[in-house]
């Protein structure tokens, strides 16, 4: 196991380095002079030149990268030139909102997706299976912003049960907080369950054909144990991958959903940084999101080894 972890870590390092480089390049190569943006229209060429020198913008690009990377490695991601807020505190501020949304959406998606997948796999080819797989396929073509509109129309406009937008901090009003998260979480979960269900269903159908399932039946085990222990665990590798990828994507906050429902998460922070051309915040958050994605993938790889002992022993 230690060797397995070591090998994956060795691969992780160059990928992370490339991620930092690309992040830096995206922000650095975008048109528009930062010093000019900061000083505004009234800036004199001398002032701009002076600012460029103090910020190190006149250095060659590779020196700027190394300088920036050095800061990042020491935990200094820079600060917004607009608000003066450090990248670290801005991210720390918004992250709980995105995390809460992500966890709620992922749990909801799994709670819907897993039982339906098991049902479909057991009743493969039946009317209910064909209906659910058809529904899941159609759902793949329904983007989340449409689902959001639909849910807002149903639950906020027509029924008036839930707020259409807005965010209530948990510390102020726990129930209101949950209410404000319900529609966005449902929107994301709606996008999740069809994917999770399709993936688990097809893996589960393959597993149910395996000899060891026939063996489990021949041992006289109860059907629930056969399905949940003998079939679900070996079928869940792809499910874990997909869940991991989704979590990785949601680390950056669900950009669209956070915007529609006005949730102050990382996604909104990104959009705001883009609008205000606050490229230091943009750079910091993108780096944070990309690194988070790579690390989540690494954890998923490790989970593989926990789920499937064959990966742990031997053919790593």
Partner 1 sequence: MAAPRGGRRPGAVLACALVWLALIGCAAIFANLLPLPSPTEMDLLGKRALPDAQHWLGNDQLGRDMLSRLIHGARISLSVGLLAPVIGVTVGGALGMLAGYFRGPLETLTVGGVDVLLAFPPLVFALAVTTYLGQSVLNLILVIGILGIPAFTRVARAVTLSLTEREFVVAARALGATHSRILLREILPNVALPLTAFFLLGVAVTIVVEGALSFLGLGVPPPAPSWGSMIGEGRESLDLAPWLAFLPAVVMFMTVLAFNVVGDSLRALTDPRPGAL
Partner 2 sequence: MSAPLLSIEGVSVELPTPRGLLRAVDRVDLTLEAGRTLGVVGESGCGKTMLSRAILQLLPKRAKLDGRVMFGGRDLAGLSREALRRLRGPELAVVFQDPMTSLNPVLTIGTQIVETLQVHLGMSGIAATKRGAELLAAVGIPAPEQRLRQYPSQLSGGMRQRVAIAIALSCEPKLLIADEPTTALDVTVQAQILDLLAREQQRRHMAMILITHDLGVVAGRTDEVAVMYAGRVVERAPTPRLFAHMRMPYTEALLAAIPRLDSAPHTPLPAIGGRPPDPTRPLPGCSFAPRCRYVEDDCRAAKPPLADPERAGSLYACWHPR
Binding mask 73-92 vs partner 1 (x if CB under 8 A, - otherwise)? Answer: --------------------
- Which does residue 68 bind out of partner 2, partner 1, none, counting CB within 5 to 8 angstroms by kind? none
CB of 221 to partner 2, least distance (A): 6
The token pair that represents 131 in the structure block: 């209906």
CB of 127 to partner 2, least distance (A): 15
CB of 237 to partner 2, least distance (A): 10
Provide the β-strand partners of residue 79. 86
The alpha carbon dihedral of 214, 219, 223, 224 has a sign of negative
Burial degree of 201 (CB within 10 A; 0-12, 13-18, 19+): buried
6-32: b (≥16 Cβ within 10 Å) or e = eeeeeeeeeebeebbeebbeebeeeee
Output 47 or 313, the one with its CB closest to partner 2: 313
Q: Judged by CB under 8 A, does residue 130 bind partner 2? A: no
What CA–CA distance (Å, rounded) separates 144 from 150? 10
Q: Of residues 31, 220, 224, 275, which one binds partner 2 by CB under 8 A?
A: 220
Scanning 164-265, the segments in alpha helix (DSSP H) are: 174-208, 211-218, 223-225, 232-235, 237-251, 255-260
Q: Of residues 217, 228, 274, 299, which one binds partner 2 by CB under 8 A?
A: 217
Q: Of residues 87, 95, 132, 152, which one binds partner 1 by CB under 8 A?
A: 152
Q: Of residues 249, 302, 308, 316, which one binds partner 1 by CB under 8 A?
A: 249
273 neighbors 263 (Cβ within 8 angstroms): no
The token pair that represents 178 in the structure block: 């949950």
What CA–CA distance (Å, rounded) separates 48 from 61? 18
Nearest-Å Rg of the Cα atoms of the chain is: 24
Number of residues that bind partner 1 (CB under 8 A): 45
Output 107 or 274, the one with its CB closest to partner 1: 274
The token pair that represents 246 in the structure block: 């989704």
Binding mask 118-137 vs partner 1 (x if CB under 8 A, - otherwise)? Answer: -------x----x------x
Q: Judged by CB under 8 A, does residue 213 bind partner 1? A: no
The token pair that represents 152 in the structure block: 């807002």
**Ranges within 226-255 binding partner 2 (CB under 8 A):** 229-230, 233-234
The token pair that represents 186 in the structure block: 């449902």
Report in angstroms the alpha-carbon separations of 87 from 22, 80, 149, 196, 208: 18, 7, 32, 34, 50
DSSP letter at 159 equals S
Q: Residue 161 — φ and ψ, nearest 5°?
A: -90, -35
Question: Binding segment for partner 2 among 13-21, 29-37, 187-195, 220-228 (CB under 8 A)?
Answer: 220-228
CB of 142 to partner 1, least distance (A): 6
Q: Of residues 74, 275, 309, 314, which one binds partner 1 by CB under 8 A?
A: 275
Residues of this chain that interact with partner 1 (CB under 8 A) are 14-15, 18-19, 22-23, 26, 30-32, 125, 130, 137-138, 140-146, 149-150, 152-153, 157, 248-249, 252, 255-256, 259, 270-271, 274-275, 277, 282, 286, 289-291, 293-294, 297
Task: List residues binding partner 2 (CB under 8 A).
Answer: 210-212, 214-223, 225, 229-230, 233-234, 307-310, 313-314
């Amino acid at each position: 196991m230690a060797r397995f972890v070591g090998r994956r870590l060795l691969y992780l390092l160059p990928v992370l380095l490339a991620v930092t480089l690309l992040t830096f390049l995206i922000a650095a190569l975008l048109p528009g002079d930062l010093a000019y943006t900061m000083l505004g229209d009234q800036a004199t060429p001398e002032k701009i030149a002076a600012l460029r020198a103090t910020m190190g913008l006149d250095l060659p690009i590779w020196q700027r990268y190394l300088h920036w990377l050095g800061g990042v490695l020491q935990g200094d991601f820079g600060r917004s030139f607009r608000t003066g807020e450090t990248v670290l505190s801005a991210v720390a501020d918004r992250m709980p909102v995105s995390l809460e949304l992500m966890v709620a959406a992922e749990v909801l998606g799994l709670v819907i997706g897993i039982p339906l997948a098991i049902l479909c796999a057991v009743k493969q080819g039946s009317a209910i299976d064909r209906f659910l797989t058809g529904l899941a396929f159609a759902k793949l073509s329904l983007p989340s912003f449409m689902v959001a509109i639909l849910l807002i129309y149903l639950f906020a406009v027509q029924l008036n049960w839930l707020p259409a937008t807005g965010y209530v901090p948990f510390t102020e009003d726990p129930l209101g907080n949950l209410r404000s998260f319900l529609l966005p979480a449902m929107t994301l979960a709606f996008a999740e369950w069809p994917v999770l269900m399709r993936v688990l269903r097809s893996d589960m159908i393959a597993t149910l054909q395996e000899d060891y399932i026939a063996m489990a039946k021949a041992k006289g085990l109860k059907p629930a144990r056969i399905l949940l222990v003998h079939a679900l665990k070996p079928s869940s590798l792809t499910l874990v991958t997909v869940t991991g990828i989704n979590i990785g994507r949601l680390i950056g906050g669900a950009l669209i959903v956070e915007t529609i429902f006005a949730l102050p998460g990382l996604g909104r922070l990104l959009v705001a940084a883009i609008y205000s051309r606050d490229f230091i915040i943009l750079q910091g958050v993108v780096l944070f999101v990309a690194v988070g994605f790579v690390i989540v993938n690494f954890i998923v790889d490790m989970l593989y080894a926990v789920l499937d002992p064959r990966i742990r022993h031997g053919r790593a």
